[in-house]
């Protein structure tokens, strides 16, 4: 029997040290042999956010142990690994460098191919770990650092349809949670607060809702939440603000996704209407329901990765590595870490004051 390809993935773009092994499965969905994620929540909690230097130091302390654990739990031997894939960007450069350099050294010592992976492409392809997903498809990537709509034509082939002109939706969740006194990382827990509140209590702004195509903006919403939070007096107020914020995000994403559907159809006439939502914020259950309902209304097929594959992990990095391995798209050991690495290299940079839509 022909040996099945095994890829080791390594991820250290921010505050998770992760390693995973996946195995090709004869044209079917790959098998995740192991997926280890070591969180740094306790390291950064008292600072209310990720401290890059501390994150990098933690990666250095853990990376060899996490990779060893991933190999041990996979039931495979080091010599069974066919190639190594490591995140090269975007992210915090001091963090990226740890996993990237470890991956290069590991590949070099084994005399195996090395592949530098775009973290965002990892999210884009993450549903392929559990679903037979065919190109093309529309992608909504929503995380702590990114919010964008992309037409995915194939591996490395992306056309951006819309992006945030200021802050990412995940950042808006985290900042709102912090204002409500929810411990870092607060974004994932904000939804639980919202379940207990009145979503109609506070009227919050929906920036560029009716202009700018499917571009997004969350800075004004964050400012409004800051203003309202100063008037909060009790738990009920906190629950109501959380619910009002959650509802506002749902309305924004619903409206902008509806516009993105129309833009996507112009590009991909008579092709699959598949809608993938990936990234950390894709684990928000209310957002999943709102977007799923919209898909049924607009005749799109919704696909969400499992919750454990929405947040940062190395299995998705290995998935991109497997796709690159199949076409022998390998990288040299001098491939740099890239703190900024857009999926659509031709897209105009839209962040900053004075952006015109």
Q: pLDDT (tens digit, 9 = 90+) per residue, 264-297?
A: 999 988 778 999 999 999 999 999 999 999 999 9
**Residues ≥6 apart with Cβ < 8 Å to 206:** 221, 248, 251, 252, 255
Using CA atoms, how far apart are residues 181 and 63, in angstroms rounded to an integer? 32
Mean pLDDT, residues 163-172 taken together: 95
Q: pLDDT (tens digit, 9 = 90+) per residue, 300-334?
A: 999 999 999 999 999 999 999 999 999 999 999 99
CATH code for the part of the protein at 137-304: 3.30.420.40
Mean pLDDT, residues 54-61 taken together: 96
The H or E element spanning position 222 is helix 219-229
Q: pLDDT (tens digit, 9 = 90+) per residue, 186-207?
A: 877 899 999 999 999 999 999 9
User: CATH topology of 6-129+309-326 equal to that of 137-304?
Assistant: yes
At 350, the pLDDT band (50, 70, 90 cuts) reads confident
H helical segments located in 30-131: 41-44, 52-74, 93-110, 119-125
87 in Cβ contact with 63 (< 8 Å): no
Flag whether the pTM goes above 0.75: yes
Residue 124: φ, ψ to 5° = -60, -35
Structure tokens that stand for 335 in this block = 């491939």
pLDDT value at residue 2: 67
Query: What angle (nearest 5°) sits at the alpha carbon of residue 228, between those of residues 196 and 200?
Result: 45
Listed by start position, the domains of the chain span 6-129+309-326, 137-304
Q: Does domain 6-129+309-326 have CATH number 3.30.420.40?
A: yes
8 in Cβ contact with 102 (< 8 Å): no
At 36, the pLDDT band (50, 70, 90 cuts) reads very high
Q: Identify the bridge partners of residue 277 per DSSP, sorted by sequence position.
A: 140
Q: pLDDT (tens digit, 9 = 90+) per residue, 76-127?
A: 999 999 999 999 999 999 999 999 999 999 999 999 999 999 999 999 999 9
């Amino acid at each position: 029997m022909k040996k099945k390809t095994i890829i080791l993935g390594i991820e250290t773009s921010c505050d998770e040290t992760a390693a995973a092994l996946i195995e090709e499965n004869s044209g079917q969905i790959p098998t995740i042999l192991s997926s280890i994620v070591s969180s740094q929540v306790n390291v950064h909690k008292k600072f209310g956010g990720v401290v890059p230097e501390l994150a990098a130091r933690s990666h250095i302390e853990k990376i060899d142990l996490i990779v060893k654990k991933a190999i041990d739990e996979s039931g495979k031997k080091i010599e069974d690994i066919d190639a190594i894939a490591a995140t090269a960007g975007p992210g915090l450069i001091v963090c990226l460098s740890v996993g990237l350099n470890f991956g290069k050294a590991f590949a070099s010592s084994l005399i195996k191919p090395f592949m530098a992976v775009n973290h965002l492409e990892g999210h884009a392809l993450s549903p392929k770990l559990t679903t037979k997903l065919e190109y093309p498809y529309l992608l909504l990537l929503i995380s702590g650092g990114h919010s964008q709509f992309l037409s995915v034509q194939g591996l490395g082939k992306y056309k951006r349809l819309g992006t945030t002109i200021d802050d990412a939706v995940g950042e808006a969740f985290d900042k709102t949670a912090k204002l409500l006194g929810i411990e870092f990382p607060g974004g994932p827990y904000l939804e639980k607060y919202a379940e207990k509140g009145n979503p109609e209590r506070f009227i919050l702004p929906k920036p560029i809702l009716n202009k700018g195509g499917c571009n997004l903006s969350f800075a004004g919403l964050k400012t409004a939440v800051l203003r309202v939070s100063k008037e909060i007096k009790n738990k009920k107020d906190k629950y109501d603000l959380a619910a009002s914020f959650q509802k506002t995000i749902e309305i924004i994403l619903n409206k902008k996704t509806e516009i993105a559907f129309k833009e996507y159809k112009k590009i991909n006439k008579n092709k699959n209407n598949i809608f993938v939502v990936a990234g950390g914020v894709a684990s928000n259950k209310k957002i999943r329901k709102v977007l799923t309902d919209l898909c049924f209304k607009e005749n799109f097929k919704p696909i969400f990765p499992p919750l454990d594959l929405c947040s940062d992990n190395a299995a998705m990095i290995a998935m991109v590595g497997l796709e690159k391995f199949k076409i022998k798209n390998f990288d040299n050991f001098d491939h740099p870490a890239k703190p900024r690495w857009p999926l659509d290299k031709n897209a105009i940079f839209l962040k900053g004051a004075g952006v015109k839509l």
